Amino acid sequence: MASSTCARAHIAIVLLGIVLLFPGNAVVVGAYPRGGGGGDYRMQFLEQQNAARAAMGLPPLEWNERVAGYARWYAESRRGDCALVHSSGPYGENLFWGSGTGWSPAQAVGAWLAEQPRYNYWSNSCYGGMCGHYTQIMWRATRRVGCAMVTCYNGRGTFITCNYDPPGNYVGMRPY
């Protein structure tokens, strides 16, 4: 069991690394909870993001049903191919894909926040890989988030998206 979990985590990290090498890919976390969409499900998306924001003195993100509706719509549209392609919508967006099922919102958020060591505040740039998912979560002006998660058809994995309002990651501007 432990080696299976370890192998799955390794596959997800490798695939996330490969996907992040290509520009235009974003981390989007979305949620179609198993058995409903209650507060606990939302908290799986919010807790880590808000803890990271609080550590930097930033206000917490609030769950927004309008933004979550957009995330659900987009996650459903990706269910057939599970492709990490941005929606080009009005919100900031983080995307996540994991092989198989059993992925949680917290794992997707954790993957995005794991980019933090690559962000250099003083140069406002990323070193050694992507950090844009982290900076979107940490964008000071962003106040609302909505996320969705789907299991893709034909065993193609799990797709998670989070959308942020207002969006962040403006060139030349620091997130906080």
6-10, 39-43, 89-93, 168-172: segment of lowest average pLDDT: 6-10
Specify the higher pLDDT residue, 81 or 18: 81
Q: Is residue 112 part of a domain?
A: yes
pLDDT in tens, 36-60: 456 699 999 999 999 999 999 999 9
Q: Residue 110's domain spans which residues?
A: 2-165
Count the domains in the chain.
1
Residues in the chain: 176
Cβ–Cβ under 8 Å, residues 146 and 162: yes
Pairing mode of beta strands 125-126, 92-98: unpaired
Q: Copy the structure tokens of residue 81.
A: 């191919």
How many percent of the chain have pLDDT more than 90? Answer: 77
Pairing mode of beta strands 119-120, 92-98: unpaired
Q: Give the per-residue pLDDT at 157.
A: 97
Q: Is residue 44 part of a domain?
A: yes
Q: Determine if the pTM surpasses 0.85.
A: no
Question: Where residue 56 sits, what CATH number does that domain have?
Answer: 3.40.33.10
Q: Is residue 170 part of a domain?
A: no
Query: Is 153 a residue whose pLDDT tops 50?
Result: yes
Element (H, E) at 147: strand 144-151
Q: Is residue 89 part of a domain?
A: yes
How many percent of the chain have pLDDT more than 70? Answer: 78
